[in-house]
Amino acid sequence: MTEAVDFGYQQVGAAEKTARVGRVFASVAPRYDLMNDLMSAGLHRLWKRYAVRVCGARPGSRALDVACGTGDLCALLARAVGGEGGVIGTDINPAMLERGRDRLLDEGWFDRVQCVQADAESLPFAEHSFDVVTIAFGLRNVTRKDRALASMRRVLRPGGCLTVLEVSRPVSAGLRELYDAYSFRVLPALGELIAGDRGSYQYLVESIRRHPDQRALAAMMEAAGFSRVGWNNLSGGIVAVHRGWRL
Inform me whether the pLDDT recorded for 150 exceeds 90.
Answer: yes
Report CA-CA distances (Å) from 116 to 89, 160, 197, 199: 6, 21, 27, 28
- How sure is the predictor about 111, in pLDDT bands with cuts at 50, 70 and 90? confident
pLDDT band of residue 3 (cuts 50, 70, 90) is confident
Q: Please, what are the domains in the chain?
A: 4-245 (3.40.50.150)
pLDDT at position 110 is: 85
Q: Tens of pLDDT along 151-188?
A: 999 999 999 999 999 999 999 999 999 999 999 999 99
- For 61-80, b where at least 16 C-beta lie within 10 A, e where not — what string? bbbbbbbbbbbbbbbbbbeb
Q: pLDDT value at position 120?
A: 98
pLDDT for residue 1: 47
Backbone conformation region of residue 230, classed left if phi is above 0, alpha if psi is from -120 to 50, else beta: beta
> Taking CA 217 as the corner, what is the angle to CA 216 and CA 218, rounded to the nearest 5 degrees?
90
The pLDDT assigned to 195 comes to 86
pLDDT at 202 over 80: yes
Digit-coded pLDDT (tens) for 69-99: 999 999 999 999 999 999 999 999 999 999 9
Bridge partners for 113 per DSSP: 87
Q: Which of helix, strand or coil describes residue 48?
A: helix
Per-residue confidence (pLDDT) for residue 2, from 0 to 100: 60
Instruction: Report phi then psi at 134, rounded to 5.
Output: -130, 155
